[in-house]
A and B are shown apart, each in its own frame.
Chain A
């Protein structure tokens, strides 16, 4: 085989990495290189340096160390039974690309993942070596996200956490049964244990040691995971229940939902469909409601007979339409929890309402200036000069929000 150029390897190994949805570079420690003795900074909030036509941001150099893999996960482009082109970076090549891209302000840092070669320990050790050299030899202070390999020696995961801002382990599919069906070499118990280990290590790093010294920071930007949506038969209720469990058990920063998307040389086991992008979007909305708006998963899917979210309207609006007895809410009196339930009010708007109404009574136009989406909110609120009257209970209220039914074309 002719040796591949760096550009050819980059093409293969970034193509192979794109099915990981995460590209976040936020959270964690603040660092900079103002001292002139190194390169890079993290500001706490990430930066998206470019967007591709799939609407996804490029924040990190997201690549695989290698796409050779001994596992045979049906949904994965890199599974052992696929005929895609294979390549492998040397650790030096990964380091070179990261630093040169970083110096030109293309990226916030590196998101390194890998197919499993030889053994989980060997693969993880190479990844840790890359992170260690970036930090120690090149004094790189940008963002590093390592995808950890659940079956690797916990000692390697512990070391990875010293160099990486974020660690992630993908649960891959919403239920254990699906993992066994589609990723037979992966072990859901092992994945959970690895996430538990990361949480325990991170919490231990927060405690001061007995000498009073602070332990070294461990994965300061926390851990995240990803679930593929639409490959197995799991409904949204199952997916969201699974996320709720993951958030509460392992203190995850994020659960990413990745619509199952056609891949080159797909497996016959999983027929290719158009990726369910709207479903993915609704899941993220529901996820937000659970994390920032005080919703419980059971409320979100309560009125859905098939356990799937309404694709036509967002889950907060759907919930409000199904719980109209709570509305309209008086924006001048309601408490924070109630205001957060109003469609069209975000957490920032609610904060502004609470501050401003200390000084005066709010009118309809005030809400608009405070950033509320009144198209959604108006049937559900009272203000000094606004009452929805019978609008809240109108039978066709849903129709006002849902997209018009598609007209069938004549043949």
Chain B
């Protein structure tokens, strides 16, 4: 029989060292009695095997488990961990088996320790105490359920870096002045009154909504065992007791007369409001507005000789309110540059001004507008054509073509040709740049070349028609 007594400070590292040595000597778990901070020797215990550095491997996950479970208040924790360490030597995959009773028990212990640590980070309440140095000094008393002062100290050291602090618990106390130092546990120390606690209690009382009392939800997260060290907890009984009356008083109170200044303020605001808003932004001709961020108007000089009409704004365009700024817009920009057209000299717009999409998880999947939506939005496109009076319109894709000419069918046969709107404006037919994005890599160069050829044709046609061809 071996007796291993582990120190109260540095318990985990000590256990790890002893466990390695015992395991190397082939000692079975039932042959070891583990204690922590109880050196009162067992006279009949065998002397321990020396700590060597014989290789001992454990699966990933065991160390993480041990680092938590070791702080549990269950006196059997060391033995359970050692027993699992033993089994893992022959079956490393056991650590992944959450349903194995040995693994499950230790995982449950680790979870309880984790919760206790979390509650400690939440419920420690510092009070300011006198300081003799330049740094402010704070102290707290806390009663955790497990031996968690040591593993919790790094949290406080990282958080309260510019102040000195002490946390006293029955098992250990921790002191920080730039580095952490552990000391023996203590009884509850007398800490001086701290006026900020009154402000905190005021906050606690005021942030509570008496109309929605859910005491069980509070207690499951803030169990009563912690209340005695929480300065705000003494207010709870009275808050619960008066909640019902406060809520009914609000419900029953008759509406009051608004203060005199209210009408003046409201009057000023509503009259000053620009309710004429951008007419396009207020368009309700179809239902697409309801899921989009904003209508995306056309962009470009009103005397542009060339107008490019796409399908509809995409995700990016919807967010920024500008046409052709997403991936398809970048394809278009590169093509324009390649054929010597300057984007800023063109008028760019879409057949439909709101983004149509289907939400899928965190993304929006583009959906083509239907005929009704295209026709509803034609009002705005016609208005743009009328204002800009372009010499030539380039219809990018079937939707634009359908809106401008009436039908978008047979796009691939019609591309590269010039048709006319009913009003007689010439329309050069080509594909939408997003079509190029969807093509497999092998097919893209040829399609891009054709697209550029169409744009070149457009540039040449404006030149022929005597318009100032926007060349760079």
Contacts and interface: CB of A to CB of B under 8 A. Distances in A.
A364 B256 CA distance: 61
A55 interface: yes
A249 B97 contact: no
Interface string B133-157: 0001010100000000000000101
B222 to A, nearest CB: 4
A189 B278 CA distance: 11
Interface residues of B, number: 93
A191 B364 CA distance: 19
A267 interface: yes
Contacts of A10: 199, 202-203, 206
A215 interface: no
A193 interface: yes
20 contacts: A10-B202, A36-B162, A36-B178, A43-B155, A47-B118, A53-B214, A53-B236, A54-B208, A58-B204, A82-B256, A101-B199, A104-B128, A105-B121, A248-B357, A248-B364, A249-B293, A262-B247, A266-B250, A266-B251, A369-B99
Given A105-B140, A359-B96, A33 B207 contact: no
A173 to B, nearest CB: 14
A295 B83 CA distance: 43
Interface string B317-337: 011110000000000000000
Contacts of A249: 291, 293, 318-319, 359, 364
B250 A200 contact: no
Nearest to B126: A104
A322 interface: no
B286 to A, nearest CB: 15
B159 A33 contact: yes
Interface residues of A, number: 96
B302 to A, nearest CB: 24
A315 interface: no
Interface stretch (B38-46, B70-78, B261-269, B386-394): B261-269
Contact of B159 (A41, A54, A199): A41
A80 interface: yes
B157 A192 contact: no
A190 to B, nearest CB: 10
B157 A39 contact: no
Contacts of B159: 32-33, 39-41, 105
B172 to A, nearest CB: 18
A6 interface: yes
A151 to B, nearest CB: 10
A409 interface: no
A57 B232 CA distance: 13
B221 interface: yes
Contact of B259 (A43, A83, A104): A83
Contacts of A97: 199
Contacts of B362: 247-248, 251
A43 B162 CA distance: 18
Contact of A196 (B158, B162, B200, B294): B294
B276 interface: no
Given A38-B162, A369-B98, A52 B204 contact: yes
A7 B199 contact: yes
B196 interface: yes
Interface in B421-444: none
B395 to A, nearest CB: 28
Nearest to B217: A55
Contacts of A41: 155, 158-159
B160 interface: yes
A262 B211 contact: yes
B161 interface: yes
